[in-house]
Structure 1
Amino acid sequence: MVLLFYTAVGLVAAVFGSLVGLGGGIIIVPALVYLGPLFVGKEIPVAIAVGTSLAVLIFTALSSTLAFIKQRSVDFRSALLFFLTSGPGSLLGAYITQFVDTRSFQLYFGFFMLLMAALLIAKGYLKPLKLRWSITRTYTDASGTTHTYGYSLIPALAIGLIVGFISGLFGIGGGSLFVPAMVLLFGYPPHVATATSMFVIFLSAIAGTAMHLRLGEVDLWMVLGLAPSALIGGWLGARIAGKLSGNRLLWVLRITFVIVALRMIWEGLSG
């Protein structure tokens, strides 16, 4: 039963996470906290859930990134720029988790999930802003189509820092912030933004996990249980992302975010 639980959580989280560039941690953390006692047979502390989720994220993001590389949709130059600040930000966020109590975490995470749901809903209706940036990039994808987009150094580094911090603090990938910012602010094509985001998530997850390991906040047995299906889910999500719009899956994810967010906020307020 425990192995089946880990397999299901790792697979579902990785597929959804890879499909929309989230990373999947936003599903793993609530699953471990709320369903862990039922299937694992013990309470899983929030800090352990966050650290373990971030460790599993390494496997999800690696599998997804390799699939996106084959599709030639990863902009490595932009990704490395974002990682300059998202890496340190992830370390800082992971370090701060030890000072956040369970009730406060539930409140913060709940409101954060509501924000993510709003961004996922808005993502389908908002159009990229027509802004002029100091750096212009052109990228040719596997189909031979050339895309033009741009950014400025300071805004790009600031977004990397914020996303990295949130990633380390909540044990999630941060793609739910990266992707909308890249698409709406900088004009990235959605598939390039998703793929590039997953590569940044992979690098940031390594940095954040290192800090969580140092703090003793990673359950390696849980990682071993979740990682195999996360590898498969990351690959599968990337394949689906390359072929389907995934709009129905996105709506399921949006509704799930709202339900879990409201529950976490309620328990945070009443705890």
Structure 2
Amino acid sequence: MEWIVLVIVGLIASSLGSLIGMGGGIIVVPALLYLATLPEFSHLTPQVVVGTSLFTMIFTGLSSTLAYMKIKTVDYKSGLIFLIGSGPGSILGAWITEKLDLHSFNLYFGLFIIFVSFVLLVKDKLKPLPFRKDKGVVRQFTDNIGRNFEYGFNPIMAVLISFVVGFLSGIFGIGGGSLMVPTMIILFFFPPHVAVATSMFMILPTAILSSITHIALGNVNWLYALALVPGAWMGAKVGVFLNTKLKSKTIVWIIRVILIIVGIRLIYQGITG
């Protein structure tokens, strides 16, 4: 029964995560924290939850990246620049996780996902900042209906921002896309579909680096990871398919509501626990 529950969690989280570039960890981590309150999963600690989530993100990232490569929406060059920051940040975040107890983790993670839900609420209402072509990298993209987009960023600013995103990813095991996608759209003018695909491309190496750190610290439950991986692999492909067929606004609204409810619950546990 435990395995069935975990496969379903991996499938749902990965489907929603790859649909909007979040990676799925923002759903896997709260789900595992909730399961940890049940007798069958009571041995799960925040560190093991994060380590196991990040390990499954490797397969979500790989599956999503392969699918997005086929429809040619991944900006590899920009993704590699962002990784200069997010890679070291994710390692540092994984190390910092060791210092948090259950109640502190619940409180900080609850506050974080409330913030993420706010970002998702306002990201469609914010306009990109003025873009100066002489200040950094300039990229162009033509979508599948022939629309042309021009976007770009300052490489130094991109590395610094992605370091912070990688750091938060390593601490909370959420893949980083929940912050990186809005950042790409608002600050760096990325077309939404390119932002999502590039975010999933970045999640793969970031998750690998964070997972290596967590494996070394003994923070991966291998049996649970093996149960989550099949759902994560299949769910990522489902999410990519939906990304090409649907407007994601309805899904984003559902995720906002879920995140707010889960965030309030975790903050309550962290304060009263």
Cα offset, 1:8, TM superposition: 1.0
Alpha-carbon deviations, 1:157-187, whole Å to 9, x = none? 0111011111111001111111111101111
Which is further off, 209-218 or 127-136?
Answer: 127-136
Contact 2:87 2:209 survives alignment (8 Å): yes
- Structure 1 unaligned blocks of 5 or more: none
Alpha-carbon deviations, 1:191-234, whole Å to 9, x = none? 00000011111110000000000000011111100000100001
Inter-partner Cα distance in structure 2 for 1:92 and 1:243: 38
Cα offset, 1:124, TM superposition: 2.3
Correspondence 1:5 to 2:5: yes
Counterpart residue identity of residue 14, structure 1: S
Matched residue, 2:23: 23
Inter-partner Cα distance in structure 2 for 1:153 and 1:8: 39
Secondary structure (helix, strand or coil) at the match of 2:3 reads helix
CA 1:62 to 1:39, structure 2 compared with 1: closer, same or farther past 3 Å?
A: farther
Cα offset, 1:144, TM superposition: 4.6
Query: Would you say how many aligned residue pairs link Structure 1 and Structure 2?
Result: 271
Cα offset, 1:14, TM superposition: 0.2
Residue 136 (structure 1) aligned to one of 138, 147, 172: 138
Contact 1:64 1:238 survives alignment (8 Å): yes
When normalised by structure 2's length, the TM-score is 0.96
Counterpart residue identity of residue 79, structure 2: A
Matched residue, 1:125: 125
Matched residue, 2:92: 92
Counterpart residue identity of residue 106, structure 2: Q
Which is further off, 199-208 or 121-130?
Answer: 121-130
Matches within 5 A, 1:51-70: 51-70=51-70
Secondary structure (helix, strand or coil) at the match of 1:99 reads coil
Matched residue, 2:242: 240
Matched residue, 1:183: 185
Inter-partner Cα distance in structure 1 for 2:192 and 2:258: 22
Matches within 5 A, 1:93-172: 93-132=93-132, 133-172=135-174
Which is further off, 129-138 or 249-258?
Answer: 129-138
Inter-partner Cα distance in structure 2 for 1:233 and 1:159: 28
Inter-partner Cα distance in structure 2 for 1:17 and 1:139: 23
Matched residue, 1:200: 202
Alpha-carbon deviations, 1:97-131, whole Å to 9, x = none? 11111111111101100110001111222222223
Contact 1:2 1:39 survives alignment (8 Å): no
Secondary structure (helix, strand or coil) at the match of 2:140 reads strand
Inter-partner Cα distance in structure 1 for 2:146 and 2:256: 33
CA 1:202 to 1:39, structure 2 compared with 1: closer, same or farther past 3 Å?
A: farther
Contact 2:19 2:248 survives alignment (8 Å): yes
- Structure 2 unaligned blocks of 5 or more: none
Matched residue, 2:219: 217
Alpha-carbon deviations, 1:1-41, whole Å to 9, x = none? 11210111001110111011111111111111112443844
When normalised by structure 1's length, the TM-score is 0.96
Matched residue, 1:263: 265
Secondary structure (helix, strand or coil) at the match of 2:141 reads strand
Inter-partner Cα distance in structure 2 for 1:245 and 1:233: 18
Cα offset, 1:73, TM superposition: 0.3
Which is further off, 213-222 or 38-47?
Answer: 38-47
